[in-house]
Amino acid sequence: MTHRIVIVGGGAGGLELATCLGKTLGKRGQAKIILVDANMTHIWKPLLHEVAAGSLNSTEDELNYVAQAKWNNFEFHLGRMCGLDRANKRIRLAASNNPDGHPLLPERDIVYDTLVMAVGSTSNDFGTPGASEHCIFLDARKQADRFRRQLLTHYLRAQQASEDHSNQVRIAIVGAGATGVELAAELHHASYELAAYGLDRIQPEDLQITLIEAGPRVLQALPERISQSAHATLKKLGTTVMTSTAVKEVTADGLHTKDGQFIPAHLMVWAAGIRAPAFLKELDGLESNRIDQLVVRPTLQTTRDDDIFAFGDCAACPQPDSDGRNVPPRAQAAHQQAALLVKSLKLRLKGKPLPEYRYRDYGSLISLSRFSAVGNLMGNLTGSVTLEGWLARKFYVSLYRKHQMALYGGLRTALMMLGGHFRRSTEPRLKLH
């Protein structure tokens, strides 16, 4: 019987893994590759801040799982995993409905021989009262689209309001990591574009953005020089940056901080911290940590079941010689682990030992929209090289192209780049609906 490899989660890592295995093991009939995801389409998660600001049209840049499966010799199953039966090697998918509420698919099981969990992560509100009710989280395309629609609503209402109506829009962003910083910069860019398209009752200076960070500086994961450069750019754009400020409570009209301040806001985004999906906690006896990540060995196999692998943000993978620290939840780690698992799963079918994963930090790049980009690149020969401005922006864009290359190949990626160039000359620079 053909070996069944089931991959749960169609994010960057899971989709790259399914595509590579489909083009090799699936095409040769050596294994049946099945990808499971709760959505029909994929968009690269680091681009969600651009979707939220309207700079990226998600309907044009999304990938359809059904088509990708057909082109790359794997199966796609629509559904959200809700249970696991390790004894019988089955996963349970919950029943799903159409957007109009009518039943679409029943609850069902999928059998596996090898299971790979790649379900990513969600924002961690740390139990802050009111955060889940009043903040928007940028974990998925639907949430980014929701923020964009609400932002446009404020602009359209202001355009029809009387002259004495207050046209200010206040946006509060909790968390000054990559998502929070990039979103703040992208929203400033959107404010200029919206005014240029005639929605000018709200001028760029009327868009008041407050970035709140509990730590001592923005972009704490990056070197201090890069953090200072990003901070300076944000202040120049008009962003109010509050560091060493923790949020105590979120209400419908703003944020209350632990030091007694109140930050009024019309729109609030929570971009602080991550945790794995809650259903992973104690999933049929698998070991998980305090943020619900599945604990894995360096081979990326779970500690209590050799037939189940986990990688990316949903996995707690140890880093050798790092004082007990795990691999950081970054896109480059998921990409590296997916590449390793392509080799590992082929070796596993042959009964050979599996290689161990070692994280390699190639640096980080942060986009500040059209205004700038900052980051550092790391290599064996060059060490750490700090980049800013135009060159950093080019390297940042190349990360997305690398992801596209893994999914589409060189020719199709080149054609998509060419098509995007022509679209930019014939379509609005922002999604205005």
Residue 372 and residue 388 in contact, taking contact as beta carbons nearer than 8 Å: yes
| 383 and 342 part of one domain | no
Cβ atoms within 10 Å of 113's Cβ, excluding its own = 16
| 211 and 244 part of one domain | yes
Identify the weakest region by mean pLDDT among 157-161, 394-398, 420-424: 420-424
| Residues 142-156: tens digit of each pLDDT | 999 999 999 999 998
Residue 212 and residue 172 in contact, taking contact as beta carbons nearer than 8 Å: yes
As a whole number, the mean pLDDT across the chain is 91
Q: Mark which of 349, 374, 389 sits at the end of a domain.
A: 349
Residue 231 and residue 184 in contact, taking contact as beta carbons nearer than 8 Å: no
pLDDT > 70 fraction of the chain, expressed in percent and rounded: 97
| 339 and 379 part of one domain | no
| 267 and 304 part of one domain | no
| Residues 412-424: tens digit of each pLDDT | 888 888 887 777 7
Residue 135 and residue 123 in contact, taking contact as beta carbons nearer than 8 Å: no
| 79 and 142 part of one domain | no
Q: Mark which of 222, 252, 272 sits at the end of a domain.
A: 272
235: in domain: yes
More confident residue, 299 or 400: 299
Residue 308 and residue 117 in contact, taking contact as beta carbons nearer than 8 Å: yes
More confident residue, 350 or 427: 350
Domain count for the chain, please give it: 3
| 266 and 395 part of one domain | no
236-264 average pLDDT score? 96
205-210 average pLDDT score? 94
Query: Where is mean pLDDT largest: 99-113, 117-131, 322-336, 375-389?
Result: 117-131
Residue 402 and residue 408 in contact, taking contact as beta carbons nearer than 8 Å: no
- The vertex-176 CA angle with 337 and 148, nearest 5°, equals 90
Q: Is the dihedral of CA 228, 232, 238, 244 positive or negative?
A: positive
Residue 30 and residue 3 in contact, taking contact as beta carbons nearer than 8 Å: yes
User: What CATH number corresponds to the domain at position 250?
Assistant: 3.50.50.60
pTM for this model (two decimals):
0.92
- Cβ neighbors of 343 (< 8 A, separation 6 or more) are 355
Residue 230 and residue 185 in contact, taking contact as beta carbons nearer than 8 Å: no
| 149 and 263 part of one domain | yes
Residue 51 and residue 186 in contact, taking contact as beta carbons nearer than 8 Å: no
376: in domain: yes
pLDDT > 90 fraction of the chain, expressed in percent and rounded: 68
Read off the tokens for 48.
């969600």
Report the chain's C-alpha Rg in angstroms: 22
| Residues 175-194: tens digit of each pLDDT | 999 999 999 999 999 999 99
pLDDT of residue 418: 84
Q: Is the dihedral of CA 378, 182, 39, 284 positive or negative?
A: positive
Q: How far apart are alpha carbons 326 and 308 in whole angstroms?
A: 19
Hunting for tokens 């889940």 — which residue is that?
Answer: 132
pLDDT of residue 165: 54
| 247 and 287 part of one domain | no
Domain residue limits at 177:
131-272
pLDDT of residue 365: 84
Q: How far apart are alpha carbons 284 and 222 in whole angstroms?
A: 37
pLDDT of residue 250: 97
Confidence of residue 398 (pLDDT cuts 50, 70, 90): confident
- Measured in degrees and rounded to the nearest 5, phi and psi for residue 340 equal -65, -40
104-116 average pLDDT score? 95
- Cβ neighbors of 17 (< 8 A, separation 6 or more) are 7, 116, 118, 338, 341, 342
| 317 and 235 part of one domain | no
Nearest Cα to Cα of residue 84 among 58, 57, 110, 55: 110
194-218 average pLDDT score? 93
| Residues 373-383: tens digit of each pLDDT | 888 776 554 45
pLDDT of residue 163: 59
pLDDT of residue 354: 97
53: in domain: yes
Which residue intervals of 22-97 are DSSP H helices? 27-28, 48-53, 58-61, 65-72
Identify the weakest region by mean pLDDT among 10-14, 156-160, 285-289: 156-160
| 140 and 254 part of one domain | yes
Q: How far apart are alpha carbons 100 and 106 in whole angstroms?
A: 16
6-31 average pLDDT score? 96
Beta bridge partners of 171: 209, 267
- 279-294 as b/e, with b when 16 or more CB fall inside 10 Å? ebbebeebebeebbbb
| Residues 52-85: tens digit of each pLDDT | 999 988 787 889 999 999 999 999 999 999 999 9
356: in domain: no
433: in domain: no
More confident residue, 409 or 297: 297
| 218 and 230 part of one domain | yes
213: in domain: yes
| 227 and 162 part of one domain | yes
Q: Mark which of 272, 297, 312 sits at the end of a domain.
A: 272
357: in domain: no
432: in domain: no
